[in-house]
Amino acid sequence: MKRYIEYFFILLAFIFALVMSFLVWEKLRDIQQTTFIDLAKSFLRGKFYLLEPVRYSSWQDTAFFNGKYYVYFGPTLGILFIPLAALGFFNFPQQFLALVFGFINFLFLFKIARLLGVKKRDAFWLTFAFIFGSIYLLLSLVNISSYLTQIAAFTFINLALFEYLNKKRWLLIGTIFALSGMTRLTSYATIPFFLFEWWRTDRKIRSFFKFILPVVFSLLILALYNSLRFGSLLETGYRYNTTFPPQVREAIENYGFFSLRHIPTNIYFLLFKGPEPVRISETNYLLKYPFLRANEWGMGIFFTSPFLFYIFLVDFKKYKIAFSSLISCIIGILPALLYGGVGVWQFGYRYALEIYPFLFLILSLYFKEKMPIFAKIIIFYSVFFDAFLMGSIWGVYPF
């Protein structure tokens, strides 16, 4: 009987998450960027810049250089859309790819948890938490190109982790990981996990080269891609960003793109920034509906996903792979902490998404014995909290 009650609450939570997601998506579906289908069209014509006329949604998240607009993200997603562009589907919604990635991530996160010994029901709860009770959800619901790159990088890292835990084919692991880096450059910073695990479990020079060669090859491709666009092997185009808010541009001009001066600000938004009150006026602290809102500059990951607090209970001495994951989280988040962009128009701290696969792995090890009922209650709360507040950065609520 107890098992069926839990199944009922799992179903209830899943339906609730889907309904809330639909309500938020419905209110924000007028955001329709077309960056990557436009980039695919350019690739087909042998160009690396967006062709004229640039559609309204395409100039966002682009670099303006020598009179032309360039996409400063890696080329992976543009390449994925080439078949659709070749068939003339230039109005195909690129957000559909986020939906595909969503199914892939749910499936493979569940499989990763099972490979680590988590029971089926608990594996579902944990997967459910990371998809519907974290920063992942809004990134997959809103058709903003930078969001899609993060979802894609997250997906490739998950697939690389699954292959490592499953058959451990180092060439395939390296190739998938390279796709992540060619989608979003900061993904390369999470490589310590694979290097630590190679040293811990394998140490064969042959295995190392199988993993590292695709990664090096992808870096060479990116360097050539940069050179063909901006005349420099290292210039990605961020310097020529067309959409930086004035506050971000001022911070970057004063302190640089990457600087130690940016760390306190980013740590604040990563860990400590909470929701803000909705007041009847700027001079009165009396609250009005909906009472709380998320700040568009970010909110701490323990507010958006309080179940992450369980990470502090993990015995890292007992699970060596958890230690590898922790190191990868620390090093993987460094580019975001040093970056002057902060990440405006984000629910939570979206730049942390690339370390979430490793946080998932750590929590899977903790919950492999049993997931307590209190953890499931926190997961349900996380889903409700995120679904209610995630659209508030645009003044949108599901009710």
For the ranges 32-46, 204-218, 367-381, the one whose mean pLDDT is highest:
204-218
Mean pLDDT of 252-268: 88
| Local structure of 64: helix, strand or coil | strand
Mean pLDDT of 341-365: 93
pLDDT tens profile 89-123: 888 889 899 999 999 999 999 999 999 999 999 99
Contact 23, 390 (CB under 8 A): no
Q: Which residue has the higher pLDDT, 196 or 56?
A: 196
- In eight-state DSSP terms, residue 234 is S
- Predicted confidence band at 138 (pLDDT cuts at 50, 70, 90)? very high
What's the confidence (pLDDT) of residue 48? 95
**Six token digits for residue 83:** 């078949």
Rounded Cα distance, 352 and 195, in Å = 20
Nearest partner of 98 among 29, 46, 41, judged by Cα: 29
Mean pLDDT of 241-256: 77
The type of residue at 193 is F
Contact 229, 237 (CB under 8 A): yes
Residue 13 clears pLDDT 90, i.e. is over it? no
What's the confidence (pLDDT) of residue 255? 84
pLDDT tens profile 42-95: 999 999 999 876 665 556 778 889 989 999 999 999 999 999 999 988 888 898
pLDDT tens profile 303-313: 999 999 999 99
- Name, in order, each residue with C-beta under 8 angstroms of 264's C-beta and a sequence gap of 6 or more: none
Mean pLDDT of 314-336: 95
- Name, in order, each residue with C-beta under 8 angstroms of 29's C-beta and a sequence gap of 6 or more: 143
Residue 9 clears pLDDT 70, i.e. is over it? yes
Q: How many angstroms from the chain centroid is the CA of residue 125? A: 20
**Backbone dihedral angles phi then psi of residue 218, each to the nearest 5 degrees:** -65, -35
What's the confidence (pLDDT) of residue 53? 60
What's the confidence (pLDDT) of residue 270? 96
What is the biggest distance separating any 2 CA atoms in the chain, rounded to whole angstroms?
Answer: 68
pLDDT tens profile 277-299: 999 888 888 998 889 999 999 99
**Six token digits for residue 246:** 């004035």
pTM above 0.85, yes or no: yes
Mean pLDDT of 256-265: 89
Contact 160, 173 (CB under 8 A): yes
Query: Quick count: other Cβ atoms within 10 Å of Cβ 64?
Result: 15
Residue 164 clears pLDDT 90, i.e. is over it? yes
